[in-house]
Amino acid sequence: MENTIELNRQRCNLNPEDGSVWLFGYGSLIYKVDFPYLECRPARIKGWVRRFWQGSHDHRGTPQAPGRVVTLIPREGAQCLGLAYRVTPDTFSHLDIREKNGYLRFSTRMIFADGDEAPGLVYVATEDNAAFLGPADEDEMARHIARSRGPSGPNSDYLLRLAQALRELGEQDDHVFLLEQKLLRLDT
Ligand code: SIN
Protein backbone atom coordinates (compact mmCIF):
# COMPACT_ATOMS: atom_id res chain seq x y z
CA MET A 1 0.00 0.00 0.00
CA GLU A 2 1.39 3.38 -0.98
CA ASN A 3 1.58 5.69 2.01
CA THR A 4 1.69 9.47 2.03
CA ILE A 5 3.08 10.03 5.57
CA GLU A 6 6.57 10.95 4.33
CA LEU A 7 5.25 13.01 1.40
CA ASN A 8 3.10 15.03 3.80
CA ARG A 9 6.03 15.57 6.18
CA GLN A 10 8.02 16.99 3.25
CA ARG A 11 5.29 19.45 2.30
CA CYS A 12 6.07 22.98 3.41
CA ASN A 13 2.49 23.99 4.22
CA LEU A 14 2.65 23.40 7.97
CA ASN A 15 4.62 25.71 10.22
CA PRO A 16 5.29 24.05 13.60
CA GLU A 17 5.76 27.55 15.06
CA ASP A 18 2.14 28.54 14.37
CA GLY A 19 0.00 28.58 17.49
CA SER A 20 -2.90 26.98 15.63
CA VAL A 21 -3.90 25.90 12.11
CA TRP A 22 -7.33 25.46 10.50
CA LEU A 23 -8.04 21.97 9.16
CA PHE A 24 -10.96 21.49 6.75
CA GLY A 25 -12.73 18.11 7.04
CA TYR A 26 -15.28 16.93 4.48
CA GLY A 27 -15.47 13.13 4.98
CA SER A 28 -14.86 11.02 8.05
CA LEU A 29 -13.17 14.03 9.62
CA ILE A 30 -16.67 15.50 9.98
CA TYR A 31 -18.10 12.70 12.10
CA LYS A 32 -15.13 10.82 13.57
CA VAL A 33 -13.14 13.30 15.62
CA ASP A 34 -10.30 11.38 17.25
CA PHE A 35 -8.05 14.42 17.73
CA PRO A 36 -8.12 17.42 20.06
CA TYR A 37 -9.20 20.79 18.68
CA LEU A 38 -9.48 24.35 19.95
CA GLU A 39 -12.52 25.39 17.91
CA CYS A 40 -14.86 23.86 15.32
CA ARG A 41 -17.01 25.76 12.81
CA PRO A 42 -18.96 24.79 9.66
CA ALA A 43 -17.14 26.12 6.61
CA ARG A 44 -17.01 25.87 2.82
CA ILE A 45 -14.14 25.66 0.41
CA LYS A 46 -14.42 26.76 -3.19
CA GLY A 47 -13.62 24.82 -6.36
CA TRP A 48 -14.17 21.27 -5.13
CA VAL A 49 -16.88 18.59 -5.05
CA ARG A 50 -17.04 15.61 -2.64
CA ARG A 51 -17.02 12.21 -4.40
CA PHE A 52 -16.81 8.56 -3.29
CA TRP A 53 -13.96 8.01 -5.72
CA GLN A 54 -11.07 7.06 -3.42
CA GLY A 55 -10.18 3.48 -2.49
CA SER A 56 -9.68 2.65 1.19
CA HIS A 57 -7.16 -0.09 1.95
CA ASP A 58 -6.71 0.70 5.61
CA HIS A 59 -10.00 1.92 7.10
CA ARG A 60 -13.10 0.75 5.20
CA GLY A 61 -11.55 -2.00 3.10
CA THR A 62 -8.34 -3.98 2.71
CA PRO A 63 -5.57 -3.98 0.09
CA GLN A 64 -7.22 -7.07 -1.47
CA ALA A 65 -10.73 -5.58 -1.35
CA PRO A 66 -10.56 -1.77 -1.02
CA GLY A 67 -13.63 0.14 0.16
CA ARG A 68 -14.88 3.43 -1.30
CA VAL A 69 -14.46 6.70 0.60
CA VAL A 70 -14.59 10.36 -0.29
CA THR A 71 -12.04 12.67 -1.80
CA LEU A 72 -12.38 16.09 -3.41
CA ILE A 73 -12.47 16.57 -7.17
CA PRO A 74 -11.74 19.99 -8.70
CA ARG A 75 -14.87 21.63 -10.18
CA GLU A 76 -14.97 25.26 -11.22
CA GLY A 77 -17.72 27.24 -9.49
CA ALA A 78 -18.45 24.46 -6.96
CA GLN A 79 -18.31 24.70 -3.19
CA CYS A 80 -17.97 21.95 -0.62
CA LEU A 81 -19.35 22.21 2.91
CA GLY A 82 -17.53 20.62 5.81
CA LEU A 83 -16.25 21.34 9.28
CA ALA A 84 -13.23 23.48 10.03
CA TYR A 85 -11.24 22.59 13.12
CA ARG A 86 -8.63 24.86 14.66
CA VAL A 87 -5.89 22.52 15.84
CA THR A 88 -2.31 22.78 17.06
CA PRO A 89 0.33 21.86 14.42
CA ASP A 90 1.39 18.69 16.29
CA THR A 91 -2.10 17.24 15.60
CA PHE A 92 -1.01 16.66 12.00
CA SER A 93 1.36 13.87 12.99
CA HIS A 94 -1.74 11.85 13.97
CA LEU A 95 -3.79 13.08 10.99
CA ASP A 96 -1.01 12.24 8.50
CA ILE A 97 -1.13 8.62 9.73
CA ARG A 98 -4.91 8.49 9.65
CA GLU A 99 -5.05 9.91 6.10
CA LYS A 100 -1.98 8.02 4.81
CA ASN A 101 -3.72 6.01 2.07
CA GLY A 102 -3.30 8.55 -0.72
CA TYR A 103 -4.26 11.87 0.88
CA LEU A 104 -1.94 14.87 0.60
CA ARG A 105 -2.24 18.08 2.57
CA PHE A 106 -3.19 21.07 0.42
CA SER A 107 -3.46 24.72 1.39
CA THR A 108 -6.94 26.15 1.03
CA ARG A 109 -9.10 29.06 2.17
CA MET A 110 -12.17 28.27 4.22
CA ILE A 111 -15.21 30.46 4.32
CA PHE A 112 -17.29 30.44 7.49
CA ALA A 113 -21.05 30.95 7.66
CA ASP A 114 -20.66 34.60 8.72
CA GLY A 115 -18.47 35.32 5.65
CA ASP A 116 -15.18 35.34 7.57
CA GLU A 117 -12.33 33.56 5.79
CA ALA A 118 -9.17 31.85 7.01
CA PRO A 119 -6.29 29.94 5.42
CA GLY A 120 -5.86 26.32 6.35
CA LEU A 121 -5.19 22.77 5.21
CA VAL A 122 -7.29 20.02 3.65
CA TYR A 123 -6.43 16.38 2.83
CA VAL A 124 -7.14 15.51 -0.81
CA ALA A 125 -6.49 12.18 -2.56
CA THR A 126 -5.75 13.26 -6.12
CA GLU A 127 -6.43 11.04 -9.10
CA ASP A 128 -2.77 10.11 -9.54
CA ASN A 129 -2.61 8.27 -6.18
CA ALA A 130 -2.37 4.47 -6.30
CA ALA A 131 -5.64 3.91 -4.40
CA PHE A 132 -7.78 6.23 -6.57
CA LEU A 133 -10.81 4.43 -8.03
CA GLY A 134 -12.57 7.22 -9.88
CA PRO A 135 -16.21 7.35 -10.94
CA ALA A 136 -18.50 4.36 -11.42
CA ASP A 137 -22.18 3.78 -11.90
CA GLU A 138 -24.04 4.79 -8.68
CA ASP A 139 -25.70 1.38 -8.27
CA GLU A 140 -22.29 -0.28 -8.51
CA MET A 141 -20.78 2.20 -6.03
CA ALA A 142 -23.59 1.47 -3.55
CA ARG A 143 -23.10 -2.31 -3.92
CA HIS A 144 -19.34 -1.86 -3.52
CA ILE A 145 -19.86 0.13 -0.29
CA ALA A 146 -22.40 -2.42 0.99
CA ARG A 147 -20.00 -5.35 0.65
CA SER A 148 -16.78 -3.65 1.91
CA ARG A 149 -15.37 -3.55 5.40
CA GLY A 150 -11.98 -2.81 6.95
CA PRO A 151 -10.20 -2.19 10.26
CA SER A 152 -12.35 0.91 10.98
CA GLY A 153 -15.60 -1.01 10.34
CA PRO A 154 -18.16 -1.45 7.57
CA ASN A 155 -17.89 0.88 4.59
CA SER A 156 -21.67 1.40 4.85
CA ASP A 157 -21.19 3.08 8.27
CA TYR A 158 -18.86 5.61 6.62
CA LEU A 159 -21.51 6.54 4.06
CA LEU A 160 -24.47 6.54 6.48
CA ARG A 161 -22.67 8.57 9.15
CA LEU A 162 -21.41 11.09 6.62
CA ALA A 163 -24.90 11.49 5.11
CA GLN A 164 -26.40 11.97 8.58
CA ALA A 165 -23.74 14.53 9.56
CA LEU A 166 -24.33 16.50 6.33
CA ARG A 167 -28.08 16.51 6.97
CA GLU A 168 -27.46 17.83 10.47
CA LEU A 169 -25.33 20.60 8.93
CA GLY A 170 -28.21 21.45 6.60
CA GLU A 171 -26.25 20.49 3.49
CA GLN A 172 -27.93 19.02 0.41
CA ASP A 173 -25.22 16.81 -1.11
CA ASP A 174 -26.90 15.03 -4.04
CA HIS A 175 -24.02 12.60 -4.64
CA VAL A 176 -23.83 11.43 -1.01
CA PHE A 177 -27.61 11.29 -0.54
CA LEU A 178 -28.16 9.31 -3.76
CA LEU A 179 -25.60 6.69 -2.68
CA GLU A 180 -27.19 6.57 0.78
CA GLN A 181 -30.63 5.99 -0.75
CA LYS A 182 -29.30 3.24 -3.02
CA LEU A 183 -27.45 1.56 -0.16
CA LEU A 184 -30.53 1.57 2.06
CA ARG A 185 -32.62 0.05 -0.75
CA LEU A 186 -30.10 -2.79 -1.04
CA ASP A 187 -30.57 -3.59 2.65
CA THR A 188 -34.33 -4.06 2.42
C1 SIN B 1 -11.71 14.27 5.31
O2 SIN B 1 -12.61 13.77 5.99
O3 SIN B 1 -11.53 15.50 5.32
C4 SIN B 1 -10.78 13.43 4.49
C5 SIN B 1 -11.33 12.14 4.02
C6 SIN B 1 -11.66 11.15 5.10
O7 SIN B 1 -10.86 10.96 6.03
O8 SIN B 1 -12.74 10.55 5.04
Q: In this structure, are strands 117-124 and 21-25 parallel, antiparallel, or unpaired?
A: parallel
In ligand 1, the atom with minimum distance to the C-alpha of 23 is 3
CA-closest candidate to residue 103, choices 84, 76, 121: 121
The answer to whether the CB of 109 falls within 8 A of the CB of 46 is yes
- The active-site residue, picked from 99, 140, 168, 171, is 99
Residue 114 CA from chain centroid, whole number: 23
CA angle 56, 58, 63 (to 5 degrees): 75
From the options 1.10.443.10, 3.30.56.10, 3.10.490.10, 3.40.225.10, give the CATH code of 5-183. Answer: 3.10.490.10
The domain locations on the chain are 5-183
How much is the pLDDT for 29?
A: 98
2 belongs to the catalytic site: no
Given a cut of 70, the residues of the chain with pLDDT beneath it are: 1, 187-188
| Ligand 1 contacts CB of residue 27 (under 6 A) | yes
At residue 187, the pLDDT reads 61
What is the chain's mean pLDDT, rounded?
A: 94
What is the Å distance from ligand 1's center to 159 Cα?
Answer: 12
Distance 170 CA to ligand 1 centre (A): 19
